[in-house]
Structure 1
Amino acid sequence: MAGRGRGSGVLGICVALLVGCGGPSAPDAAPGDVRRLLDRRAEAVLDRDAKEYRETGRSAKAYDNLREVPLQSWQYRLTAFDRDGERATATADLRYRIKGYDSEPLTTSLALTLEEREGRWYVTAERPARKATEQLWDQGPVEAVRGAHSLVLGVGRGQGDRRDDETLREYADLADRAVPLVRDAWHGKWPERVVVLVPKSLDGMAGLLGAPASGYQGIAAVTTGETGGSGKAPADRIIVNPEAYGVLGDFGKQVVLTHETTHVATRAHTSPATPLWLSEGFADWVGYRGTGRTAAQAAPELRRALQREQPPGALPEDDDFGFSGDAGKLAEAYEGAWLACRMVADQWGEAKLTAFYEAVGVHKKRPGAVEDAMREVLDTTPEEFTARWRTYLRTELG
């Protein structure tokens, strides 16, 4: 018994020595300090406290640029931290909501550089993370114009310039007119309000989309957002290409904003099963609805193709809606899609068109979605529908 006790004592001493001299070191407190720093930074943004924001670091560009953006929430979540002495790099998710428009936060990723001075961490630079898209305030000071159903946010303009304020107000007026037009055509539930982003240039648009500018030449606007109808998707963003949009007349500008607003309205019923000829054609159908434009007026490229005796043999494929440098082919795709939806409205009725759209979107995958919806809603087949559409083109455009 006595010998066992002496052994235990020796073991106890060894354990104590190991713990005291060779055990694990205390965890680095820096990540926790940086999290608290980012919490302070977020509070400063929401409180519009410029002094407090600047005390979190030298990088105040984002704060200055987004002062006019009406924010409901703004929150950072540290996702990676790499320290090298008194300097560090980090990535963080930024989650934010625009007040009155976003039902859920939008998320983007930021790359941060930080510096420790006298025991405190400071942000020295903040920029979009690799592969993350830019936010509008990354491109300059944001100006905000509010409409009855819209919020227009623009950059690249002289703040306080009356002409630029009038330009953004024109966007708001067009969007405000678009919302009732869409509401009259689409009776499904949607927010009935839109956010329009107006960058300075095509390159600015591309930065917001995280894609090459060449893919959007000639495209007046696009709408971003979640497909699939989760019910938790934040409000979509209508992003304008000011170069292509600016050359349109008043009629064309209204059609474009109404088209894009339709995408916002139908988003919950648009899924991966929805072909682009249906989603783009339906949006154009709403855009032209009630304007009195004839098929020949609104589909000149397709009319010329028919006059050359080169009618389309099938409905447009998804790839036909990408800009490849052939503006005529792109126009034909949109015109053919519009006339397909117009045909359904003319021959089956507007209620059938919206029911068909919803029936396709219920499917989660493309195979069988259009076929099933055509059979259930329109009592036809894709082959019969296509033949009917080709006849409709000749009748309307001949």
Structure 2
Amino acid sequence: MDPVRRAPLVRLLVRLLAPASCLALAAVAGCAAPDAPSDGAAVRRAVADWAAAPPAKLAGIPLEGWSYEVTSVRRDGVRAFARAELRYRLAGYDTTPATSARELELAPGDGGGAAWRVTADRPAPGAPAQLWDQGEVAVVRGAHALVLGVGQSPQTLSAVAAEADRAVPAVNAAWPRPWAGRLVVEVPASLDGMAALLGRAADTYRGMGAVTTGATGGGPAPADRVVVNPEGYAGLSQAGRQIVLTHEATHVATRTATSARTPQWLSEGFADWAAYRGSPLGPAEAAPALARSVRGGEFPAALPADGAFTFGGNPEAMARAYEGAWLACRLVAARWGDAALVTLYEHAAREPLPTALDQTLHTDLPALTTAWQRSLREDLG
């Protein structure tokens, strides 16, 4: 067919089939579209441009090292999608980068010379959200803490910062080992917002005050975040909020001395021991679930197993596990001394628990369990 006579037919097809067929017909009729990103180079350039100027809603957050590593590029019609790993640090708080799996959506460039431009930046499918995905982030700085919040009043965030500032010295008194001595606390607008940050169902955290993110391992300290459940936290007394934040701050402090080998009863019990050291509450007041069990004639046969601390299970059973773990660490500190408890914690991350008990307390697990059961009768019976 004559090229001049063919052009109207091509334009008709474009009108009938656009936009999806525009890319297929581009080679025939010269339809304008970015080059196909077979190697992703143009998309990667657009993502790099996006990283160089983070969104305005991040302006108050002390970011540094903000970058994306594109891992895959997919074309869908006139759009492109890039999967990437976001890396960033909070200046003055993170010693290693925080990471986040992201998906960036791109559209054809606006005529300024770029083939592509980023139009959306969101969590990759199945990945946890970042706080700024949920709205504009407010920032409050304390003496030892950086508090980031969405949908919270300045007064609420300032109160959290003050409580975090009191938690850090309490942790220093319990854990006389080097650590960063500062906290990053995130306060989303709701329980659902908290769950989105942690990538789990909301019911997992219902009734909890806060949790701490970050992996164990003994290497450089990861980018820990204390994530507050605003609903559970608001229902606590002033003393309760202080205990919760001190507990979570202790996890941050002990992170590099914790490993997969550390028993959960020791990890959680130590964090509660640090939190309750300055509290006037006695064992029966601070361990009501376990007290009810003991007074009913039900004594735990062993120290709490790791599975007893799993979120989302029986809340009464989990409460007994936490309380029993605290009382076990309280017993170790009372009988062998605070320093011995700290040393036991460090050894238990490197050695089997029986070896750690023998080397630090010169006892064994059956003897410790018997002493713990006896203390439960005395303190809670």
How far is 1:84 from its partner? 4.4
Aligned twin of 1:93: 85
Alignment of 1:1-398 (within 5 A): 28=37, 31-45=40-54, 63-84=55-76, 86-117=78-109, 118=111, 120-157=115-152, 164-231=153-220, 233-324=221-312, 326-363=314-351, 369-398=352-381
Q: 1:161 maps to which residue?
A: none
**What letter matches 1:140 in structure 2?**
G
TM-score (norm 2): 0.87
Q: Extract unaligned runs of 5+ from structure 2.
A: 1-34
Deviation of 1:86 (Å): 3.5
Q: Distance in 2 between matches of 1:91 and 1:73?
A: 19
Write the distance in 2 (CA, Å) between the matches of 1:300 and 1:72: 45
Deviation at 1:121, TM superposition (A): 0.4
Say which is worse superposed, 119-128 or 348-357, in terms of deviation: 119-128
Q: Deviations over 1:132-183 (max 9, x none)?
A: 11000011110000000000000023xxxxxx10110000000000101101
- Out of 324-333 and 73-82, give the one that drifted further: 324-333
Q: Is the contact between residue 316 and residue 337 of structure 1 (CA under 8 Å) also seen in structure 2? A: yes
On the 8 A contact 2:103/2:124 being kept in 1, the answer is yes
2:40 aligns to what SS in structure 1?
Answer: helix
- In structure 1, what residue type is equivalent to 2:155? E
Contact 2:97–2:223 (8 Å) recurs in 1: no
Contact 2:147-2:160 within 8 A present in 1 as well? yes
Pair 92,371 (structure 1): closer, same or farther in 2 beyond 3 Å: same
AA partner of residue 338 (structure 2)? E
For residues 237 and 165 of structure 2, what CA distance do their matches in structure 1 show?
18
- Are 1:88 and 1:114, in contact at CA under 8 Å, matched by a contact in 2? yes
- What 5-or-longer segments of structure 1 have no aligned partner? 1-25, 46-62, 158-163, 364-368
In the superposition, the TM-score normalised over structure 1's length comes to 0.83
The offset of 1:290, in angstroms, is 2.4
Q: How far apart are 1:131 and its partner, in Å?
A: 2.0
Offset of residue 78 of structure 1:
1.0
Q: Offset of 1:71 from its aligned partner?
A: 0.6
Residue 142 of structure 2 contacts residue 161 of structure 2 at CA under 8 Å; is this kept in 1?
yes
Deviations 1:343-365 (A, max 9, x none): 000000000000000000124xx
Task: Report the equivalent of 1:160.
Answer: none
The answer on whether the counterparts of 2:37 and 2:73 sit within 8 Å (CA) in structure 1 is no
Q: CA deviation at 1:205?
A: 0.8
- CA contact 1:64–1:141 (8 Å) conserved in 2: no
Q: For residues 278 and 241 of structure 1, what CA distance do their matches in structure 2 show?
A: 24
